[in-house]
Structure 1
Amino acid sequence: MTINWQKEVEDRKEALLEDLKDLLRINSEREDDKMTADAPFGPGPKAALKHMLAYGERDGFAVKNVDNYAGHIDYGEGDETLGVFGHMDVVPAGDGWDTDPYEPVIKDGKIYARGSSDDKGPTMAAYYGLKIIKDLGLPLSKKIRFVIGSDEESGWADMDYYFQHEEAPDFGFSPDAEFPIINGEKGNVTLYAEFGGSSEGEDELVSFHSGLRVNMVPGTAEAAILVKDTVTIAEMKEHFEAFVEKHPIEGTFVSDENAVAITVIGKGAHGASPQSGINAATFLATFLNDYSFGSAAKEFIHTAAFIHEDFYGEKLDVAHEDEKMGRLTMNAGLFKFEKDVQDGNMISLNFRYPKGTTADQLEEGVRAVIGTAGVKIIQDDRNQEPHYVPVDDPLVATLLSVYEDHTGEKGAEKVIGGGTYGRLLKRGVAYGAMFPGYTDTMHQANEFMELDDLFRAAAIYADAMYRLAK
């Protein structure tokens, strides 16, 4: 039986696009202050999860919502289960958008919205792949379970809860990365440098804030300062304007008597590739490092300036490289300092590390370099170790074969720093939906997905699921 998967997608592309638009209109950012027992990650992730599961009900699938943490859409029967993992939560939209991030806009063959490429667009492409298999009544020897999460961008508490109540599929993939395939993912752990709130000195740091998530390069940073000499304020402003002129940033400097407010604008990016962004916080700290802050404020600014552009952990003396998995990367994502507040002042250091080192070794190394009596180094309790599925595994071989058949291009294995639900399974990988040469806008302003890529991915997903489960 020969199936023209591209034609099947073409027949459904308008419906796919309308379903995706409705999903993108839901602001599904996690909101901790609005969490309830019924909405464990806030109202947005719950609404998006229920909306996605409602598509499954509409189309006649067996559907289960697991207490608004996660859910699944089932098709077929068999002793083995193929799992496909997508997620409905998104990182905060942040600033710098040309359009409303939650009102999808189609322009120049692209759909713009938060979640369009990470991960609502790819999830919808994969869902329509499953829908095509069901619509055609294709016989399967395995069950396909499409699992929908709602906390992938934060702590994966959705999957922790889900697997406490549901069995894990035997093998599978997540449409949340790149083609041809991602069969290896670096380890992922976050360390926090914690500071006190004292701020004595010739200049006084009142506050410093930057960042939205540990896995995002902060695109903006703000600091409030008290300067005791108004002449110094004029000099500081001149110094700042020269600093901005010299570096790839923008900024504002506002003063009122002895109070100064400084804002720096850089460029956000995915925390797995910190070198592709412009970290506004470390640039601001580098500027402020020339001034005379005291005690905890001095330690905070000095530390933030010290790690400026330390993308590979070289200054922190934890650099490491593996032949297959590549180099360790480090993203400084969250910065908070409030004068006279003793708890909560911190800088987050998110590491994506290859085989050959461990989270504990990273913690030990960082503590040796920047840990002092006034700076505590704390390891987050969630550590994901490096993950790899061999290229000769039948799952990997089949997915590469499907990619090659649809594109005419040779497929090859790849390891990334980003973490996907593919690593939830021992035999789990990430598979699309971004094609080689794509423009990466994940976790950035003006996120988009190419419509041609969206539809081409849907055809690949349909064929891949059928070959794996027939």
Structure 2
Amino acid sequence: MYKEQIDAYIDGHREEMLEDLKTLVRIDSQRGKSQEGMPFGEGPAKALAAAQAMMDKYGFKTRNYDNYVVTGDFNEKEKQLDILAHLDVVPVTEDWTVTQPFDPLVRDGRIYGRGTADDKGPAIAALYAMRAIRELGVPMEKNVRLILGSDEECGSSDLRHYYSIEEEAPMSFTPDADFPLINIEKAQLQRPFLAVFKADGALPRILQIKGGSKVNVVPGKAHAIVEGMETAVLQEAAKTVEDETGIVFDIRCEEKATWIEAKGNSGHASTPEVGNNALTGLLMLLSRLPFAPSDGFDKVKAVAEMFPHNDYNGKALGVDMEDEESGSLTMNLGIFEYSPERLSGHFDSRAPLCATDENLTEVIRQKMLGYGIVMEAGKLVPAHHVPADSEFVRTLLGSYELYTGKKDSRPLAIGGGTYVHELERGVAFGCMEPGVDNHMHGDDEFMEIDTLLTSAKIFADSIVKLCTK
């Protein structure tokens, strides 16, 4: 009923919308040192203040929650919908080429700058959706609240603070992910493991293995130090493994030991197939070499057997599973260290809705115990799931289809977590379009301006439908 007026309003406020986004992008809101009244430092607090000033200017009732989040309410009626976006940003490098990270630039239908895609641009799209409805006088039977946080990139403690004060709305979405909509975020199992054994000095032997620094990252590099192994044997085995895996090995001989450097490609643990795990490639190589028999070497071979290279789905561990709604389990060995007396590691699994502690956690624990390796106690972090056939999800998808012309769109399941992971009734809805690389978290981050405007229209249509029923 109000589509034409909303569309015209958003298109007519294009330049003003971009100027407001530029105002936010110019603020370096990387997390800083906590100060009194500024839990995440000066930058995030400045971004919250600027956003609150915008919402005040456009007639929304605002509140600052101790510089964790600021909110803007459409009206004083019963709250129906929360929209959650964040104003903090990830660190930047000096390698930007189009412009500097906090000097926004419009060029060729895009706006460049840190936060344009994640998540200041989507925050502005949501704000202008609410502004359009308000200034057009669209009658709203219930309230929508815009919640702007400042710690999403470092753990979302901002939302924990907010929800210690306020209750979750009947419906919530965050424009900090992909269209068409994400309604399932897989369960997570991140567990350390350990084995201790007696050192054995027989040669050849492994002195050290080390790879990975974060469990949720596919290690792009790893190294080992060995002694007593003939260089020709190392080089021949390395060439074979290189051909099989694409991992590149650099072998460097020193006086008493030989260094083996492995180089693959990093990636996120939720999509391990996108990377090329240097650590599992290195373990594959080491397990094939003729080291002297020892308890330590047996344990290295056991880890290589449990986490074989390119086993993205946990088949070797006996936990390969999938379901129609949420897809397949993923597995990533993210951290591993070895010395002649002990080894330790840490894996990351993203599991479908069918996963339980019985068919996942305990299966892995028992598998490791069979090799004399102990997994630290802990349980599966439950999956997040909002039913695809709920009225909320169907309404949002309907708005997306209305503006994109795409039919029969289906909600997505992902291995990662979004800003609404802890909310019972929250989904992720935009603003990224499939197939578009916005360089999110990278150099030269950008948002396509047409996508920004379309997102604002989609959000406005959704708000009207959800809050006038």
Normalised-by-shorter TM-score class:
0.7 to 0.9
Q: Secondary structure at the match of 2:182?
A: coil
Structure 2 partner of 1:163: 163
Cα pair 1:187 1:387 within 8 Å, conserved: no
What is the distance in 1 between the residues matched to 2:281 and 2:93?
A: 19
1:82 offset after TM fit, Å?
A: 0.8
Cα pair 2:182 2:429 within 8 Å, conserved: yes
Cα pair 2:207 2:227 within 8 Å, conserved: no
1:335-391 superposed Cα distances (whole Å, 9 cap, x missing partner): 153759989x4313132322x322454210111222467533235578233412242
Structure 2 partner of 1:347: 346
Structure 1 partner of 2:184: 184
What is the distance in 2 between the residues matched to 1:350 and 1:62?
A: 43
Alignment of 1:269-280 (within 5 A): 269=268, 271-280=269-278
Cα pair 1:197 1:338 within 8 Å, conserved: no
Structure 1 partner of 2:319: 318
Amino acid at match of 1:66: Y
Cα pair 1:24 1:120 within 8 Å, conserved: yes
1:84 offset after TM fit, Å?
A: 0.8
Alignment of 1:137-148 (within 5 A): 137-148=137-148
What is the distance in 1 between the residues matched to 2:163 and 2:7?
A: 34
Match of 1:247 among 245, 248, 253: 245
Structure 2 partner of 1:469: 467
Are residue 282 (structure 1) and residue 280 (structure 2) matched? yes
What is the distance in 1 between the residues matched to 2:64 and 2:50?
A: 11
What is the distance in 2 between the residues matched to 1:244 and 1:447?
A: 34
Structure 2 partner of 1:396: 393
1:192 offset after TM fit, Å?
A: 2.6
Amino acid at match of 1:141: E
CA change 1:256–1:303 in 2 (3 A) is: same
CA change 1:430–1:411 in 2 (3 A) is: farther
What is the distance in 2 between the residues matched to 1:422 and 1:434?
A: 16
What is the distance in 2 between the residues matched to 1:152 and 1:198?
A: 44
What is the distance in 2 between the residues matched to 1:16 and 1:251?
A: 50
What is the distance in 2 between the residues matched to 1:424 and 1:59?
A: 30
Structure 2 partner of 1:81: 80
Cα pair 1:195 1:300 within 8 Å, conserved: no
Structure 1 partner of 2:303: 303
Amino acid at match of 2:351: R
CA change 1:102–1:281 in 2 (3 A) is: farther
Cα pair 2:273 2:310 within 8 Å, conserved: yes
1:408 offset after TM fit, Å?
A: 1.8
Q: Secondary structure at the match of 1:192?
A: strand
Give the stretch that moved more between structures: 107-116 or 407-416: 107-116
Structure 1 partner of 2:457: 459
Structure 2 partner of 1:123: 123
Query: Which runs of no fewer than 5 residues in structure 2 stay unpaired?
Result: none
| Larger Cα-atom Rg | 2
Alignment of 1:6-25 (within 5 A): 6-20=7-21, 23=24
Give the stretch that moved more between structures: 370-379 or 393-402: 370-379
What is the distance in 2 between the residues matched to 1:161 and 1:297?
A: 48
What is the distance in 2 between the residues matched to 1:251 and 1:21?
A: 45
1:235 offset after TM fit, Å?
A: 4.9
Alignment of 1:13-52 (within 5 A): 13-20=14-21, 23=24, 52=51
What is the distance in 2 between the residues matched to 1:199 and 1:90?
A: 46
What is the distance in 2 between the residues matched to 1:213 and 1:454?
A: 34
CA change 1:360–1:5 in 2 (3 A) is: farther
Q: Secondary structure at the match of 1:124?
A: helix
Size of the aligned set, in residue pairs, is 459
Amino acid at match of 2:406: E
Cα pair 1:182 1:413 within 8 Å, conserved: no
1:394-434 superposed Cα distances (whole Å, 9 cap, x missing partner): 32232122122212221433241233234444433221222
1:444 offset after TM fit, Å?
A: 6.7
TM-score, normalised to structure 2, is 0.79
Match of 2:406 among 373, 389, 409: 409
What is the distance in 2 between the residues matched to 1:96 and 1:284?
A: 30
CA change 1:255–1:44 in 2 (3 A) is: farther
What is the distance in 2 between the residues matched to 1:195 and 1:275?
A: 28
Amino acid at match of 1:227: V
Cα pair 1:129 1:462 within 8 Å, conserved: yes
Cα pair 2:215 2:347 within 8 Å, conserved: no
Alignment of 1:259-270 (within 5 A): 260=259, 262-269=261-268
1:266 offset after TM fit, Å?
A: 0.7
Amino acid at match of 1:419: G
Alignment of 1:69-108 (within 5 A): 69-89=68-88, 102=101
Structure 2 partner of 1:61: 60
CA change 1:278–1:100 in 2 (3 A) is: farther
Amino acid at match of 2:453: F
Structure 2 partner of 1:428: 426
1:212 offset after TM fit, Å?
A: 4.0
CA change 1:69–1:318 in 2 (3 A) is: farther
Cα pair 1:282 1:305 within 8 Å, conserved: no
What is the distance in 1 between the residues matched to 2:441 and 2:306?
A: 25
Query: Which runs of no fewer than 5 residues in structure 1 stay unpaired?
Result: none
Cα pair 1:143 1:469 within 8 Å, conserved: yes
Q: Percent identity?
A: 32
